[in-house]
Structure 1
Amino acid sequence: MKLKVLIFAVISMLFLSNCQQKPKDDSIKANYLDFSKRDDQLTGGIKMIPIKTPKGTFEVWTKTVGNNPKIKVLLLHGGPGLTHELYEAFDGYFPNESIEYIYYDQLGSYYSDQPNDNSLWTNARFVEEVEQVRIALGLDNSNFYLMGQSWGGILAMEYALKYQKNLKGLIISNMMASAPEYNAYAQNVLAPQMDPKILKELQDMEKNNDFDNPKYSELLFEYYYTEHVLRMPQAQWPESITRCFKHINPNVYVYMQGHSEFGITGNATLKNWDIKDRLKTLTVPTLSIGSKYDTMDPEHMKWIANEVQNGRFLFCPNGSHLSQYDDPKTYFPGVIKFLKEVDNGEFRKGN
């Protein structure tokens, strides 16, 4: 009889414990799309945030999706000079997990102000811009996750190196920590995989500074981008990606990156960027994402995860540079697992 009473007591305690935990999760889910107490209800989550710069005050575009007081992911797009539109695949995954995320067009990008002043396009100024966006949105180390893809990964790493005290988690998607090593990978590993005739034609145009030749971009999209940027025939690319490329600000892109994703060209300002020796100072939980067919070396991204003090590597075996689109079955479960484990205090590096 005493044994039955003891078993019943244990079962009751487990049941009550589960009941106590569920309302917390259910409350976040129930209020996820509730804008009634927010000041951006009328705009559907859109806020134009004023940014102070050495050249005056400008506005940047943000759009918050969902409500979750514990997980808020600010998305840093690539380029530089592309748009938040490259992240639109997230709409199909994050809401179901009650993850709050914030689209954001950096200064100079399509939905934000686009001042014509190259002195604004520096890593340091972009870092301060992100910090102003964080403050304006009320993000802090109890909820603030920063996620950057490609150039956005550069910006995310630079921000974390200065402001990691403000972060709950960091996600570096498809970006190496060294531009010279990125260039070397493009030239020594990926370029030789191309048809030699196509490669020579591209290299000849680059040598002749013939970047405005329509043939240059045509060849890149057909023979390089569909292999290493987004592994689909271009006609099948998601409309959001096509729209993102249409909205690129070429002034910002060429000034910082060069003329294409086929390595950093000319005197682009990112050409010598390298923060490899500083990564070991990062203590914030970090997820580094690499893909088999990426323009970036996946082994380098694995190295990043081991170099930071609290890192994990996510490998996308079917993905390229935009692996959220060509390997979503690996990409999104890995990102969501990271966010949930950090939030629950269950994150362990390397697993």
Structure 2
Amino acid sequence: MFTTPNATGTIPFGEYRTWYRVTGELDAGHPPLIVLHGGPGSTHDYLLSLTELAAQGWPVVHYDQLGNGASTRLPDRGADFWTVDLFLRELDNLLDRLGVADDYVLFGQSWGGMLAAEHAVRQPTGLRGMVIANSPASMPLWRAEALRLRSGLPGEIRDALSRHEATGAFDHPAYQHAMYAYYQRHVCRADPIPPEVMRTLAALGSDPTVYGTMNGPNDFTVTGTLRDWSVIDRLRAIEVPTLLISGRHDEATPATVQPFYDEIPDVSWEILEESSHMPHVEEPERFLEVMTEYLDSLG
């Protein structure tokens, strides 16, 4: 279904290994698009549709961040290990090992966009552009908006969520059913859910170490180490042309994205009207158009 990769493998990251996949030729002319997946603790699979950009001459690099997928798993590590700095260092290592650190574009989705912003505020010399897709600039904003979105669910769904949260029964089937109702509205409105998205969800469920530590039990109950994260006061430092993408029904609501638009000096914003948190699978044709227009603008 997706473009066959030109290369796959793992690279050393200290004593660990980071799995990667390259679609297209890294020296083909355009800088590669480095894809940062969400979570934290997700996998690359649900973003494989971005490989279509390789046919337009933009090499695409996917990777599984440490702790999930085909990269090193570390289920016994605690909160002091799973930090934003860890994933920034892993990204730097990937860029260096692939030999692209002097010329690349970032695409970060959800948590990946948060990570991309953290990378960009350091003003790396090789960064040519950045796409922040479906990402909040602040987790306090995200938490507040999640409560607002949750209040719009049917009463019986809200009651089921509250009842099982009071006892910590996040694995109860009734709670899982209610959680899915939120996800159907605000995470992925595609029906059926594409198989590549299902693979990511299955991988996340099989090892929730990173997600549970940094985020919490689900997208609207953020109790982990990222609970108070924000990049808002540093966004002015971003020097590259930045595209923001979000969905009209996104759990990354306009209020959570607005600081990116207000603070990044060179920025544009595209809201896909029929999408929630995954426009790349909910409106794939329009998403590809938006990405192509942006990449072409980089020259």
Match of 2:65 in 1: 106
Letter in 1 for 2:293: K
Separation (CA, whole Å) in 1 of partners of 2:43 and 2:255: 27
TM superposition shift of 1:297: 1.1
Structure 1 residue 136 and structure 2 residue 97: aligned? yes
CA contact (8 A) 2:24 2:59 kept: yes
The counterpart of 2:141, out of the listed 176, 181, 186, is: 181
Identity within the alignment, %? 29
> 2:86 aligns to what?
125
Q: Deviations over 1:283-335 (max 9, x none)?
A: 11111112100011124424413310111111111111011111223222111
Normalised to the residue count of structure 2, the TM-score between the two structures is 0.92
Aligned equivalent of 1:285: 241
Hey, what does 2:172 align to over in structure 1?
Answer: 213
Q: Is the 8 A contact 1:302 1:313 kept in 2?
A: no
Cα distance in 1 for residues equivalent to 2:77 and 2:151: 37
- In the TM superposition, 1:217-296 aligns within 5 A as 217-221=176-180, 223-233=181-191, 236-248=192-204, 249-264=207-222, 266=223, 268-296=224-252
- Tell me which of 273, 279, 301 is aligned to 2:257: 301
- State how far apart, in whole Å, the 1-side matches of 2:266 and 2:210 are: 33
Q: Which residue of 2 aligns with 1:26?
A: none
Equivalent residue number for residue 161 of structure 1:
121
Q: Structure 1 residue 163: deviation in Å?
A: 4.3
* Aligned residues of 2:30 and 2:57 also touching (Cα < 8 A): no
Q: In structure 2, which of residues 259, 262, 285 is the aligned counterpart of residue 329 of structure 1? A: 285
Alpha-carbon distance change, 161 to 229 in structure 1, aligned in 2, over 3 angstroms? same
1:51 to 13, 16, 20: 13
Q: Distance in 1 between matches of 2:271 and 2:174?
A: 33
Structure 1 position 44, deviation (Å): 4.2
Consecutive aligned runs of 4 or more in structure 1 exceeding 3 Å deviation: none
Structure whose alpha-carbon radius of gyration is higher:
1
Q: Is the 8 A contact 2:232 2:259 kept in 1?
A: no
Unmatched segments (≥5 aa) in structure 1: 1-32, 36-42, 345-351
- How far the C-alpha of 1:75 sits from its partner, in A, is 0.6
Q: 193-202 or 300-309, which moves further after superposition?
A: 300-309
**Match of 1:85?**
45
Aligned residues: 291
Q: Which of 29, 50, 60 pairs up with 1:69?
A: 29
**Using the alignment, how far apart are the partners of 1:161 and 1:180 within structure 2?**
20
Q: Distance in 2 between matches of 1:209 and 1:158?
A: 32
Give the whole-Å Cα distance in 1 for the aligned partners of 2:7 and 2:253: 36
CA deviation vs aligned residue, 1:138-180 (integer Å, no higher than 9, x gap) = 1134x30111101111111111122432311111110011001
Quote the residue 1:28 is aligned against: none
CA distance in 2, matches of 1:163, 1:63: 25
The residue number in structure 1 matching 2:107 is 147
Q: What is the aligned partner in structure 1 of residue 268 from structure 2? A: 312
Choose between structure 1 and 2: higher helix proportion.
1
Give the TM-score normalised by structure 1: 0.79
What is the RMSD computed on CA atoms of the aligned residues? 1.8
Question: Which moves more between the two structures, 59-68 or 160-169?
Answer: 160-169
